[in-house]
C-alpha cells in the first residue's frame, strides 16, 4: 500500500490536468468552434498546438510520470504534425549537453553556422539566413527553414540505414494519419488546420529565438526571460531557460519559485543574460538580428 501511495504522490497532477485540458480544447477546437467561428477555432487550435509542444517537452524530461514509457505514450501523437515526438525527444536531450550549446555541429538546436561553411554559401542563401536571424523572419520563414533542414538531415540518416530514425518517422506517419483522419471527420478544413500548425511553430520560434548565445563559458549561454504573461504559460515557464537547463528534472510549475528563491545566483551563473519580458525581446529584435549567422567564437578554419 505504501508503494502505491508513493507512486501516486510521484505523479505530477498539475501536468496531468493540463494534458487533459489540452486534449479537450483540441477536440473543442476541431469539432465545436468551427460551427461558431472559424477564426476563433483557428486561434484556439494554434494556442493548443503550442501548449502540446510544451507538454511534450515536459514529457521527454520525465514529467508527469516516473515511467518514461508512459510519458512517451502521452506525447507520441503529435497534434502539430511537423516534428516526430521521438526525434524531438532524442535531439533535445542531446541539446541538453551544456558543453555543446551553440556548437554548429554537435548542438542539434543551434542556429549558428561554422564560419567556413557560411563563407561558402551563395549570397542568396546568406541573405535568407540573415532574414531568419531577426524575430520577424524567424516567425515567418523559420518554421519552413528548420523543417526542411531537419527532414533533410533525417533523410540522409535514413538512407544510411539509421533504424532508430526510420522507426521514429514511421510511428510519426501513423500519428499524423490518425490526427488528419479525425480532422477530416470535422467541419474544420484541413488547410486551415495546417495553417494552425505553421502558426504554432511560429509562436514557438519566439521561445527558441534567443534561448542560447555564443559565450566562452557554457553556463553563460542560456537565457532567463523574467516573463509572467501568457507566453510564459504557453511555454510552461521555459522562459526561465537557464533554470530549466540546470534542473531539467523540476516540473514547469515549480520553476518560478525556484528562480525567485535564488534569482541572484542564477543571474550571476549565466552572467546576466537576462531580459525583463518577451515584450522587451520583441521590441528589441523584431526586425533586428540579435546574433550573426556564423558562430562569432568559432575558428574560421
pLDDT value at residue 299: 84
Q: Is residue 295 part of a domain?
A: no
Q: Is residue 296 part of a domain?
A: no
Percent of the chain with pLDDT over 90: 95
- Mean pLDDT for the stretch of residues 231-258: 97
Domain that holds residue 213: 2-285
pLDDT at position 222 over 50: yes
- Mean pLDDT for the stretch of residues 187-214: 97
Question: pTM of the full predicted structure?
Answer: 0.94
In this structure, what is the dihedral angle of CA atoms 137, 143, 149, 150, given to the nearest 10 degrees? 150
- pLDDT tens string 96-137: 999 999 999 999 999 999 999 999 999 999 999 999 999 999
Q: Is residue 176 part of a domain?
A: yes
pLDDT at position 2 over 80: no
| Whole-number average pLDDT of the chain | 94
Percent of the chain with pLDDT over 70: 96
Distance CA 154, CA 158 (A): 6
pLDDT value at residue 10: 82
- How many domains is the chain built from? 1
Q: Is residue 297 part of a domain?
A: no
Q: Which of 4-18, 85-99, 240-254, 275-289 has the lowest mean pLDDT?
A: 4-18
**Which residues face 275 on adjacent strands?**
225
pLDDT value at residue 301: 62
- Mean pLDDT for the stretch of residues 280-291: 96
Q: Is residue 87 part of a domain?
A: yes
Residues 6+ apart with CB under 8 A from 16: 64
Backbone φ, ψ for residue 166 (5° rounding): -60, -45
Q: Is residue 301 part of a domain?
A: no
Q: Is residue 103 part of a domain?
A: yes
pLDDT at position 6 over 80: no
What is the radius of gyration, based on Cα positions, of the chain? 20
- pLDDT tens string 163-178: 999 999 999 999 999 9
In this prediction, residue 9 has a pLDDT band, given cuts at 50, 70 and 90, of low
Of the chain, the end-to-end C-alpha distance in Å amounts to 63
pLDDT at position 3 over 70: no
pLDDT value at residue 4: 36
Q: Is residue 132 part of a domain?
A: yes
Amino acid at each position: 500500500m505504501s508503494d502505491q501511495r508513493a507512486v501516486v504522490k510521484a505523479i505530477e497532477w498539475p501536468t496531468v490536468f493540463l494534458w487533459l485540458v489540452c486534449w479537450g480544447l483540441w477536440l473543442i477546437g476541431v469539432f465545436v468552434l468551427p460551427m461558431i467561428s472559424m477564426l476563433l477555432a483557428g486561434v484556439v487550435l494554434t494556442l493548443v498546438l503550442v501548449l502540446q509542444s510544451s507538454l511534450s517537452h515536459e514529457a521527454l524530461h520525465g514529467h508527469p510520470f516516473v515511467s518514461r514509457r508512459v510519458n512517451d505514450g502521452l506525447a507520441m501523437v503529435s497534434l502539430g504534425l511537423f516534428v516526430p515526438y521521438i526525434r524531438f525527444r532524442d535531439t533535445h536531450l542531446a541539446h541538453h549537453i551544456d558543453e555543446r550549446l551553440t556548437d554548429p555541429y554537435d548542438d542539434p538546436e543551434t542556429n549558428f553556422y561554422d564560419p567556413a561553411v557560411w563563407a561558402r554559401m551563395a549570397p542568396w542563401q546568406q541573405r535568407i539566413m540573415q532574414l531568419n536571424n531577426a524575430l520577424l523572419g524567424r516567425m515567418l520563414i523559420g518554421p519552413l527553414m528548420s523543417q526542411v533542414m531537419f527532414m533533410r538531415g533525417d533523410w540522409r540518416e535514413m538512407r544510411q540505414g539509421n533504424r532508430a530514425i526510420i522507426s521514429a518517422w514511421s510511428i510519426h506517419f501513423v500519428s499524423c494519419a490518425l490526427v488528419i483522419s479525425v480532422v477530416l471527420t470535422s467541419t474544420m478544413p484541413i488547410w486551415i488546420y495546417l495553417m494552425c500548425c505553421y502558426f504554432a511553430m511560429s509562436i514557438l520560434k519566439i521561445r527558441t529565438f534567443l534561448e542560447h548565445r555564443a559565450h566562452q563559458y557554457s553556463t553563460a549561454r542560456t537565457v532567463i526571460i523574467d516573463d509572467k504573461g501568457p507566453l510564459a504559460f504557453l511555454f510552461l515557464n521555459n522562459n526561465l531557460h537557464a533554470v530549466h537547463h540546470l534542473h531539467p528534472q523540476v516540473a514547469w510549475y515549480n520553476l518560478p519559485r525556484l528562480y525567485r528563491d535564488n534569482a541572484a545566483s542564477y543571474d550571476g551563473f549565466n552572467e546576466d543574460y537576462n531580459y525583463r519580458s518577451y515584450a522587451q525581446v520583441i521590441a528589441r529584435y523584431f526586425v533586428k538580428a540579435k546574433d550573426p549567422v556564423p558562430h562569432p567564437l568559432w575558428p574560421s578554419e
